[in-house]
Chain A
Amino acid sequence: MGMQNIEIREALRQAIDEEMTRDATVFIMGEEVAEYNGAYKVTKGMLAKWGSRRVIDTPIAENGFAGIAIGAAQTGLRPIVEFMSWNFSFVAADQLISNACKAYYMSGGRFKVPIVFRGPNGAAAQVSCQHSHCVEAIYGNLPGFIVIAPSNAYDAKGLLKSAIRSNNPVIFLENELDYGDKMEIPTEEYLVPIGKAKVIREGKHVTLVSYSRMLKFCKEAADELSKRGISVEIIDLRTIKPLDIATVAASVRKTHRCVLVEEGHIFAGISAELGFQIIEHCFDDLDAPLVRVCQRETPLPYSKFLEKESLPNTARIVAALNEVLA
């Protein structure tokens, strides 16, 4: 099998390109995806290859183009909508919340909505209060959505391909700071299934669950503990909804301790849901209360110093691990 060492943005581009080749109803639309080659260059070269029929620049009108894409999905196409930032999806919230995730059920199964909304989620480099929110807890609260958040190029490509082939609306969360992360991945086509978490490091003393960019800090924290002879099992959720609680529960039953790390806020967040499900599934297996490491309860501030304090980081994760191991 051939291998290639590519960035996440290229893995995403390949996924879109391959699916556009496979299925003529797949197209991509969004702000600056065509002539500008993408705000973060995920769609670089795609206009030149596919033309303006299938690589479509939109006006700055998220509510309009998100709704248009949903209408297109209901009538036979498979749109990929790029949000330049997931924070701009709030302008389109009515379309996502009232139409995308409800149309199939509300119509008694008559109109499915095969669509992917994708773009960078959460904090970037000091983009401040209105450009840094993590949206997974908001959209995860709505029945009808699939929520995916890959952490590396391999999963990004395989999961995006699965998302495009899905018959349901997918919230696909990327990370601006990670687009340039490189990884060896196969040149041959492959898919990563939706709804499957992955144990990315085996361990026996404590389980550490996270997804997306926060896994970097989780790995650093685990490295630090390993110096003291403590082995940390790390799980990458990969898909947030549907949640693969079975993989998490199996690990917790083995280690009896668990720390949950989430870039987003602590109140009603993904780790709140995951933590409760762990309690529902393996309360008797736990030897210590669960501990969460999340974003502090403020809009994410601009100052580099404050931003770092607010987000989960390696030191806070190490402290949480120590707490459950004490």
Chain B
Amino acid sequence: MVVLDTALLTTGEKSATLKVGSEPLKMKKKGHKFFPSDTKKIIEEIGKSSLIQILKEMLLIRHFEMRGEAAYQQGKVGGFYHSYMGQEAIQAGCVAAAGVNHWFTTTYRCHALALLLGTTPNEAMAELYGKTTGVAMGRGGSMHMYADRLLGGLAIVGGHVPIATGAAFTIKYLNQKNEASFCFLGDGAVVQGAVHESLNIASLWDLPCLYVIENNQWGMGTAVARAVRVDPIGENLAKAYDIKSYTLDGMDFFNCYAGFKEALKEVLTTSRPVLIEAITERFRGHSISDPGLYRSKEELAKTMDRDPIVTFKNVLIEHKILTEAEFEEMDKAQKEIILASMKFAEESPWPDPIVLEQGVMAPEDK
């Protein structure tokens, strides 16, 4: 509980709202108005085969992160490695609710979104290995993954938010109906000036952008309450920009799905931006080099009790959509896909040094 003690010392009377990471998520924060959702109704809406597919994708992400970390430890992967473990329900819920025909932008914690938007495990893993078969030809690495509608994988905190806003600008400029721009950012980014400028302009110009704060409680090793004055973040900030906000339980796929569905409907109907805050907590350190000493084992264990994949699985079993045995089989199959992607990455060629300086400039039209 070292972190909480420090926070109490530095913020005095505000301590009542600082009990972050020690209670079940929905209980943690005072004043959160969580988006209401009906799990049974959503199960009927999505249907069995799609639910199974979504669980597979979440498992694929989990195995990708576990194996990616292992490859990092073996020295196969370099740079920084930011794991999405623990946050899978949010982006899986978003893509399940919205589909892939939108623009997406996210942070350096980008492996999951790339996989959800069509980057193959082979392309993503080969990118981690720095191979020519990687999704960015080995030029981007862990923090810069892409897909046809994924603008990155951008690694300056808050700096990607104007880019996502620009994608929303294009959608409005070209009058592209049924499209929106999704921008994922962390709790640590909300205090950046670029975020403020983007939210103001998006609201001023009626840009169809969904800003999704994935509040995973930590900006690297700094607890969110030591960096952001307002709490809840999304609900408070939204007022300042005259936009709607939605607070989601980021550990609950069904709540995320319902919230994203409703928020997207709002954006497409009104062409107004919205602010979403998904409350979650990452399972790993900020990056692989972070041992997470600021968080007690007990706190982490409590968070992991609400593992979004286990929660999702249990709901499906409860509703007789899945058996434990089927889950085991599915889990194994996803693991095999990731192991195969490691073999693919391992066997892929290094980029040819001859092409090192190619592709800095885009070819010009003749």
Q: How many residues of A contact B (CB 8 A)?
A: 43
Q: Which of B11-33 contact A (CB under 8 A)?
A: none
Are B139 and A108 in contact, with the CB atoms below 8 A?
yes
Bound CA span A73–B166, Å: 8
B360 A71 Cβ-Cβ under 8 A: no
Which residues of A61-99 have CB atoms within 8 Å of chain B's CB atoms? 61, 63-77, 94-95, 98-99
**Interface locus among A1-9, A123-131, A161-169, A255-263:** A161-169
CA A139 to CA B178, docked complex, whole Å = 38
> Are B156 and A94 interface neighbours, CB within 8 A?
yes
The reply to whether A71 and B169 form a contact with Cβ atoms under 8 Å apart is: yes
Among residues of A, the one whose C-beta sits closest to the C-beta of B143 is A106
Q: Is A99 touching B163 in the complex (CB atoms < 8 A)? A: yes
B137 and A61: CB pair below 8 A?
Answer: no
CA distance A103 to B360 in the complex (A): 9
Binds B, one of A13-21, A35-43, A109-117, A298-306: A109-117
Known: A106-B139, A107-B136. A67 touches B162 (CB 8 A): yes
B194 to chain A, nearest CB (A): 5
Q: How far apart are the CA atoms of A74 and B148 in the complex, in Å?
A: 11
Q: Which of A64, A74, A144 contacts B167 (CB 8 A)?
A: A74
Say yes or no: A108-B162 contact (C-beta < 8 A), given A68-B198, A72-B170. no
Asked whether any CB of chain B lies closer than 8 Å to the CB of A143, the reply is: yes
Q: Which of B140, B197, B362 contacts A112 (CB 8 A)?
A: B362
- Decide if B201 touches A104 in the complex (CB within 8 Å): no
Given the interface pairs A27-B173, A110-B136, the reply to whether A104 lies near B361 with Cβ below 8 Å is: yes
Q: How far is the CB of B60 from chain A (nearest CB, A)?
A: 22
Check if A247 is an interface residue, CB within 8 A of chain B: no
Q: Does B360 contact A67, Cβ atoms closer than 8 Å?
A: no
Contact A66 B167 (CB under 8 A): no
Question: Which size class do B's interface residues fall under?
Answer: 35 or more
CA distance A309 to B361 in the complex (A): 39
Q: In the complex, are the beta carbons of A66 and B162 less than 8 A apart?
A: yes
Least CB distance, A226 to chain B, in whole angstroms: 39
* B159 engages A99 (CB within 8 Å): yes
- Say yes or no: is A59 at the interface (Cβ < 8 Å to chain B): yes
A52 to chain B, nearest CB (A): 10
Q: Is A53 interfacial (CB-CB < 8 Å)? A: yes
Question: B200 near A: Cβ within 8 Å?
Answer: yes
Please tell me if the beta carbons of A107 and B194 are within 8 angstroms of each other in the complex.
no
Chain B, residues 147-178, CB within 8 Å of chain A (1/0): the string is: 01001101010011111111111110110000
Residue B38 at the A interface, CB < 8 A?
no
Q: Does A267 sit within 8 A of B, measured CB to CB?
A: no
Answer yes or no: A105 CB below 8 A from chain B CBs. Answer: yes
Contact between A107 and B156, CB atoms less than 8 A apart: no
> Within 8 Å of chain B (Cβ to Cβ): is A58?
yes
The answer to whether A168 and B361 have CB atoms under 8 Å apart is yes
- Bound-state Cα–Cα, A73 to B204, Å: 20
User: A53 CA to B163 CA in the complex, in Å?
Assistant: 19
Q: Chain B nearest CB: distance from A244 CB in Å?
A: 16
A167 nearest CB neighbor, chain B only: B362
Residue of B nearest to A67 (CB): B162
Q: Distance (Å) between the CB of B358 and the closest chain A CB?
A: 9
> Contacts A63-B194, A67-B194, A107-B152; is A144 near B360 (CB within 8 Å)?
yes
Q: Does A74 contact B197, Cβ atoms closer than 8 Å? A: no
Which among B137, B161, B170 is the interface contact of A77 at CB below 8 angstroms? B170
Pairwise interchain contact A71-B151, C-beta atoms closer than 8 A: yes
With known contacts A74-B163, A77-B173, A165-B365, A109–B198 Cβ distance under 8 A:
no
Find A65's partner among B137, B154, B173, B201 (CB 8 Å cutoff): B201
Which residue of chain A is the closest to B204 with respect to CB atoms? A59
Q: Is there contact, CB below 8 Å, between B159 and A95?
A: yes
Contact for B151 among A66, A109, A111, CB less than 8 A: A111
- Give Cα distance in the complex from A73 to B173, angstroms: 12
For window 119-145 of B, CB contacts with A under 8 Å fall at: 134-140, 144
Q: Name the residue of chain B whose CB is nearest to the CB of A69.
A: B166
CA distance A53 to B169 in the complex (A): 11
Contact A67 B165 (CB under 8 A): yes
Residues of A within 8 A of B159 (CB): 67, 94-95, 98-99
**B353 near A: Cβ within 8 Å?**
no
Residue of A with least CB distance to B359: A109
Residues of B within 8 A of A94 (CB): 156, 159, 194
Max chain A CB contacts within 10 Å: which of B135, B163, B359, B363? B163
Whether B118 sits at the interface, judged by CB under 8 Å, is no
A29's closest neighbor in chain B, by CB? B169
Report the minimal beta-carbon distance from A29 to chain B, rounded to whole angstroms. 9
Which residues of A from 114 to 161 have beta carbons under 8 Å from B? 114, 143-144, 146
Beyond A67-B162, A95-B163, A106-B139, list 6 extra A-B contacts (CB 8 Å).
A72-B173, A74-B151, A75-B151, A98-B159, A114-B362, A146-B361
Q: Which 9 A-B pairs have the closest CB atoms?
A: A71-B166, A67-B162, A64-B197, A108-B136, A108-B137, A112-B362, A71-B163, A75-B170, A167-B362
Listed by A's residue number, 11 A-B pairs whose Cβ atoms lie within 8 Å are A61-B200, A65-B162, A66-B162, A67-B161, A68-B162, A75-B151, A77-B174, A99-B163, A104-B360, A104-B361, A106-B139
